[in-house]
A = this chain, B = another copy of it.
Amino acid sequence: MNPVIDLLKSHRSIRKFTGQSIPRDLFRSILEAGQSAATSNHVQACSIIHIRDPEKRRQMAELAGGQSYVADCSDFLVFCADMKRSIDAAARAGAEVQTGMTEQHIVATVDAALMAQNVAVAAESAGLGICYIGGVRNNPGPISELLELPKFVYPVFGLCMGYADQDPEVKPRLPLEAILKEDRYHSDEDSRQVREFDDTMNRYYLERTGGNKDTTWSEQLMPLFTGKLRPHMREFLAKQGFEMK
């Protein structure tokens, strides 16, 4: 359709990087592109911790679930939902600040995600590879200590950036018809679409692993819904001042 849309459609996560460093002027430009994303009420409720210290990188790789590319990529960023800066600013301006509202949590989480996706697109436009690291929520407490995150700041995800040392396929997505609904939500076709997508993903996994990974999309989802994936998030967020009031 156009080169940007083609670029977006060619996204795949990169988990193996060459040792090459991203030039600093490009790195800066990518982050500025991130800042240009929309932000709710102009609050800009995101801070990025750029982890340069090799020992902290090693610790982060481990705390994020043993993901070595966190240590090996050129640059590793932790995107934090950050209400501290704006809470402090509003307080200095005279607001009687009320914190811990669910709405504030949503605003900050969405702001961090929009900024990160612009960073991802900007990086890929410059020929770099990226990988989101939701694993920073595996151990958000120790990670927050390591990065000295204060109250009203929480790590939403990490992002690896660097020069790709692999060329994986684009991973299939659900058919557009499954996610796009007209005028009202309906799920009449869901089970058929999911069954077909299960077949697609089963073939994809089998082909990529020489027959070793015989699973489906639905089966892969199961851990997310057994209550075992990061059950600590509520308590952790409350401790950080996101009480979900």
Contacts and interface: CB of A to CB of B under 8 A. Distances in A.
A229 interface: yes
Contacts of A104: 224-225, 229
Q: Name, among A42, A49, A125, A221, the residue most crowded by chain B CB atoms within 10 Å (CB to CB).
A: A221
A239 interface: no
A149 interface: yes
A209 interface: no
A106 B156 contact: yes
A149 to B, nearest CB: 5
Interface string A144-184: 00011110010011000000000000110110101111111
Interface in A26-47: 26, 28-38, 40-44, 46-47
A206 interface: no
Contacts of A91: 225
A109 to B, nearest CB: 6
Interface string A194-235: 100010000000000000000011111111111101110110
B174 A35 contact: yes
Interface of A: 1-5, 7-11, 13, 25-26, 28-38, 40-44, 46-53, 56, 80, 82, 84-99, 101-104, 106-107, 109-110, 113-114, 116-118, 120-122, 125-126, 132, 134, 137, 147-150, 153, 156-157, 170-171, 173-174, 176, 178-187, 190-191, 194, 198, 216-227, 229-231, 233-234, 237, 244-245
